[in-house]
A = this chain, B = another copy of it.
Amino acid sequence: MKPQDRYLPPEVCREVGSVLECIGDKWTILVMRTLDGGSLRFSELRRSISGVSQKMLTATLRALERDGFVTRTVTPTVPARVDYTMTDLGREVMVPINALATWALRNQHRVSAARRSYDAKSARGK
């Protein structure tokens, strides 16, 4: 097998990439895991995820809505009420995401050990 034969077809790269890109950003996973427990209002989400700015929470939710992972329901009371809910698609993608999260949790000590070792080595090498 020549190295060139390991090319991933461009369309594969792009599709996988586009999914990983959206779950890879700073807040998406947090929002999805929070919403996976049940519907929440905007303000509840914001309180549940410490550190997120209004702007980023809005942007994250818009992206999730566009990708079909969550639905946005507006109740036109005054003041307005907006609820966010996971879709079936969203709940499905949580399965492999949670698997990855579980791996990360179980193996975090191995990764951080590798990092410490690497950092110590490069500090000595300097």
Contacts and interface: CB of A to CB of B under 8 A. Distances in A.
Contacts of A30: 8, 13, 17
The copy count of this chain in the complex is 2
A interface secondary structure, majority: helix
A89 B115 CA distance: 13
Given A8-B30, A23-B20, A89-B114, A100 B103 contact: no
A92 to B, nearest CB: 7
Interface of A: 1, 3-4, 6-8, 10, 12-13, 15-21, 23-26, 29-30, 33-34, 37-38, 40, 44-45, 47-48, 50, 65-68, 89, 92-93, 95-97, 99-105, 107-108, 110-111, 113-115, 117-119
